[in-house]
Every structure is written in structure tokens, then in C-alpha cells.
Structure 1
Amino acid sequence: MDPDPSPAHFAGDAASNDEPTVILIFGWLGAKMPTLRKYSDAYRKLYPSSAQIVIQADSLRYWKLGSARDRAVLPAVQTLKEMGLFSATLGSPPPRILFHVMSNGGVMSLCDMATVLRKLKIQPAPGSKCAIVFDSTPTPTTYTITIRAFTAGMRGWLRKLLTAGALTVVLFLTFVIRTILRRPRPFTRELTGLNDPALLPWTSKATPRLYLYSTADAIVPASAVEEHAAHARMAGFPVEMVNFGRSAHVSHARDYPEKYWDAVGAFWAEATKA
């Protein structure tokens, strides 16, 4: 199935008993569908009968209002509804859902979806299983991290310099406006929400999570990921971690494909043990 130009792309058939019913892939800010399709293809090899939903996050998402963010994830939410994941279906097994969240942009999309789902007051089927993979995330947003995130994929020092200059002005104005309006720092809500057992209709303190990260990541420090994982453990979540050492931001699957997908496969197998 060719990728849809909209933020969400769906593909798949009915899953077998040991595979996810659906895999939701949340891309990083500005990630193009051809790039995200590589993750989709890898998942297709692991779980050929699982449905997939790919959610893109455009580069302006960071500054969008909540209503605009909600609209961006509505196609994915509608697909979940059409799959029958919002309630128990007579004769159907409980759903098994795998979330794959990449960078802070992916976290933002995940939390936007959580906001929309919370408004719907969904009662999922008893016995639903869910697991979350965090790739190169999360970290609190700082000036340095934001500049690096928006310029990492750019070529040419002049383009990076001009972009950094423009972003500096925008970030300063955003800071002033938030201070006047007494709004919380960007990404505060998302960071807090990730360790809420009721983040999604299918999550609880029993929902396992896998952190895939790297010491060499220049955008999301390994220490930030490890700190968030430690807080998750203290909150009662089952936590697994894999440090890829030298790979760059959201490049772990590219640089260490076997290690990366072996970790994901083993994690899902453990997460869905009866």
C-alpha cells in the first residue's frame, strides 16, 4: 500500500495470536514517509500479519496549538476505532498494541493522541496488552537541544547558522509569551504524562517499556533517557534499556539493525507472555 500524504498511514491485515494487533509508529519531527517506511518494512518482516499506523510529525508541530495537534492525529484515532480497539468485540481476542515512539516529536504525537483518546472515554477490552518502545527519547527541551534538533538534518553551515538565528528569535519570543501568560515550559506536560499509568486506554503500571538510546546522541543525552527510565522504574513500570553506544540520534536501527530489531522482538515476546 502506498503511503498516504496525510499524517497517518495505515496498512495491514488481521494479526496472528503472537503478533501485535496493530503497531503504531510515531515519527520524529520532520521525518519523511520514505524514511519511516524503513521501520514499517522491518516490522512487516517481524510481524507480517500486524496492522500498522504511521504518524508523521511536521517540523512546525512544536509551536502548534492543542486543537491543531488534535486534528493531526484524528486519522490515526479513527483507524483505531474502525479496527474495533475502543471496546470489547464478541468473539474477538483482546487487542495487542505496540507503540514505537521516536524522538521528542514522536512523544508529542503520542501525547496528542492520548489527549484525544481521553476525551472519548474509551473502555478497552479486558485482557488488552500494550507495550511502548522509546527510540532516542525523551529529554527535557532546552535551547541547545532544540537548535540541534531542528538543524541536525541540514547541510551547509550557512543554512544551519541562518536557521539557528531565526529559531533563537522565535524561541525568545515564545519564552516571553509563556512567561507573561504563566504557561508551563514546552514539553513539561508530555514528560509528566509518559509516566502516567493511565496515559492511554490500554496502559497501566504493568505496561512494559523499552528505551533505545545512545551515549553518542548529540540531541537527546543518554543521561536524560536514563533519568526518565529510572523515574519510570520508581513509578512501577517494567523497564528495559539498550544503549547503542556510538550511533547518532534516531540512527540506532540504521547503524545496528540486527541488535535493534532483536531487542524489539525479544521485548515484545516478553511483554506478551501469558
Structure 2
Amino acid sequence: MADEIDYNIVFPDAGTSERHWQGTKEPVVILLGWAGCKDKHLSKYSSIYNEQGCVTIRYTAPLKTVFISESFGYKELSSTALKLLEILYDYEVENSPIFFHVFSNGGFMLYRYIVELLHNDKQFSSLHVIGAVVDSAPGSANVRGALRALMATLGPKISPVLRYVLLVLFAVTVVLLRIVLYPLTKYIHKNHYDAVQDKPPSWPHFFLYSRADLTIRHRDIEFFMKAVKQKGVPVDSFDFVSSPHVGHYRDFPEQYALKCREFLVSCMKESEGTEIKKRQHVQMQ
């Protein structure tokens, strides 16, 4: 089943893993790319974790699935989320600590369905997620992003007049369905922003963003962080101030990589501490 989606998995060499994790199972880092992200770009981020002795899985959902299907309430990404989690069993790494690195709304829309499966599906109840880095997300009511996705999907061969008509029709429909009528349509299909905010996962999150981001408003991210923090989710964040949308690693490579690695290590330590407490509790009973 997992063969139906176009993903990449990289295993570290045993020496690197042992050096970094010394006897504990190395983490599996699942990277969910932004809409339109090429794998060569995503692989630069996965190397942050490969050098740390982690297994990495890279996947970017197709543009039309992310923006068009989601905009019109088709939950195509739900089956993609299922296939991604099944990869863990295909490669027999389901008992390893799981860590997510999520990019922009394109990655966050898919993350939303993964979170729902981890909440609700007994098949995945034994998976042990330790944390998530969220880069340039989540944003609310992102009509501009949806229009860019449609332009890319239409391609260069379509006539300018038809392109303009389709874009206007699409924009009007999305604004109606996802903004004007959203107080009603949310009972049929909540957007990613509200769905995760209403039922957030309990593992720690680290939000990397920038107030210079012109695609995702920094106030959307800050409001989201505040809301999930109030529900008991451990939240940390860093504002790069000047870097563009999903451009923080490009502008600040050393600082970005260091922050990701430090957060991963802290999540692993927190996870090990929780496991020790659980074992002690069981032994005392």
C-alpha cells in the first residue's frame, strides 16, 4: 500500500547512530514538505537529521491534493496519512521514537490527518511520537496559496483568458466555502488550522517562523501557539525576524540546524524520562 505514494527513506550508518544515541533506538524523522517543494530541497533538511544518526522519511503531497482537494472538502490527504504511517511498519521501525518536521500549510494539512489517525485509530496507538518541528505554519484562510497552486496545476499551455476566468471562479468559490460560509461548512469539513487547534496532540512542538513571512501571517502562528499551549501542549518557538517563507534554513543554516537538533535531543531525553517513570510506576504496583 505504501508503494502508491512517492516517498524517500534514508537509514543512517550504524556507527553514526550509535555515536549519537548510544544504545537507545534512533529516532525516525518524518519530513512533510511544503506545497510545490522539490525533493532535492527537502533532502537538505533531512540531512540535518541523517548526520545526527536518525532514520528519515521524506514526503511532499501533490499541489492539487493539498490546495484544491482540501479547499473543496475532499479528504484525499487522509488516505495519504494512512499510507505514510504504514511505511513505519513496512520497514519495521514502528517501535522507534517518531519525530515530525512539518513545512508550511502544505505539510501541516497532511500532519493534521496524521494527528487524527494517531488520536483515533487503534492500529497506530502503540506508535511513540516524541515531538514536532513546525516551519512557517500553520496559517489560516490561505486563499493566495490556493490560487498559486491552481496556476501551477493549469500549466503554461492554457490560454490567458481561460486561465483568468478559472482563477476568478476558483477564488470566489474558495472565499465563499472556506471564509464566508465557513461557520456552516466547518461542520462538514474543518480546516487544518482549526482541526489541530481544537484537538492538539500532546507531544512538544517547536515553531520556527518569521515576521517577514509574506505567505503565512506570523500572528496566525502566534495565535495558534497560544491556543494549544493553553490546552497543555509544550510549545517553544523562534522568530527569525527577517527570513522569507520556508527560507529560514537558507538564510540561517547553522542556527536553524542547531535549533532542530537541540530540540530533537531534548524530546528524546524527555521521552526517556517518561518511560523510566512509567516502568518505576509499574514495578511499584
Q: Normalized against structure 2, the TM-score is what? A: 0.73
- 3-state DSSP of counterpart to 2:59: strand
Shift of 1:167: 3.1
Shift of 1:102: 0.3
Gaps of 5+ in 2: 153-158, 274-285
Say which of 49, 52, 55 aligns to 1:51. 55
176-185 or 254-263, which deviates more: 176-185
Deviations 1:113-158 (A, max 9, x none): 3445556423316xx3510111000110143464467779xxxxxx
Question: Conserved in 2, the CA contact under 8 Å of 1:148 and 1:219?
Answer: no
* Equivalent in the alignment of 2:33: 27
Seen in structure 2, the aligned counterparts of structure 1 residues 176 and 216 have a Cα distance that, compared at 3 Å, is: closer
Shift of 1:182: 4.4
Shift of 1:68: 2.8
* Equivalent in the alignment of 2:110: 109
Say which of 224, 228, 233 aligns to 1:232. 228
Seen in structure 2, the aligned counterparts of structure 1 residues 146 and 66 have a Cα distance that, compared at 3 Å, is: closer
In the comparison of the two structures, how many residue pairs are matched? 249
Look at both structures and tell me which one has the larger radius of gyration over its CA atoms: 2
* Equivalent in the alignment of 1:69: 77
Question: Conserved in 1, the CA contact under 8 Å of 2:31 and 2:59?
Answer: yes
65-74 or 132-141, which deviates more: 65-74
Seen in structure 2, the aligned counterparts of structure 1 residues 66 and 143 have a Cα distance that, compared at 3 Å, is: closer
Shift of 1:239: 1.0
Deviations 1:82-127 (A, max 9, x none): 34465xxxxxxx53111000000101111233445556423316xx
Alignment of 1:125-204 (within 5 A): 128-144=128-144, 146-147=146-147, 166-176=166-176, 179=181, 182-184=184-186, 188-195=190-197, 203-204=201-202
Amino acid across the alignment from 2:191: R
Identity of aligned residues (%): 25
Mapped to 2, the partners of 1:220 and 1:11 lie a distance apart of 30
Say which of 241, 246, 249 aligns to 2:242. 246
- 3-state DSSP of counterpart to 2:60: strand
- 3-state DSSP of counterpart to 1:272: helix
Amino acid across the alignment from 2:58: V
- 3-state DSSP of counterpart to 2:87: helix
Mapped to 1, the partners of 2:195 and 2:9 lie a distance apart of 26
Deviations 1:7-27 (A, max 9, x none): 322221575546742100000
Deviations 1:52-106 (A, max 9, x none): 11111221122226453234344422211234465xxxxxxx5311100000010
- 3-state DSSP of counterpart to 1:53: strand
* Equivalent in the alignment of 1:90: none
Question: Conserved in 1, the CA contact under 8 Å of 2:64 and 2:149?
Answer: no
Shift of 1:164: 7.4
Gaps of 5+ in 1: 87-93, 153-158
More helix by share: 2
Seen in structure 2, the aligned counterparts of structure 1 residues 230 and 257 have a Cα distance that, compared at 3 Å, is: same
Seen in structure 2, the aligned counterparts of structure 1 residues 129 and 184 have a Cα distance that, compared at 3 Å, is: closer
Seen in structure 2, the aligned counterparts of structure 1 residues 55 and 209 have a Cα distance that, compared at 3 Å, is: same
Shift of 1:40: 1.5
Shift of 1:160: 11
Question: Conserved in 2, the CA contact under 8 Å of 1:7 and 1:55?
Answer: yes
Mapped to 2, the partners of 1:102 and 1:173 lie a distance apart of 26
Deviations 1:32-63 (A, max 9, x none): 11111111122212x22x22111112211222
* Equivalent in the alignment of 1:91: none
Q: Normalized against structure 1, the TM-score is what? A: 0.76
Mapped to 2, the partners of 1:160 and 1:256 lie a distance apart of 39
- 3-state DSSP of counterpart to 1:134: strand
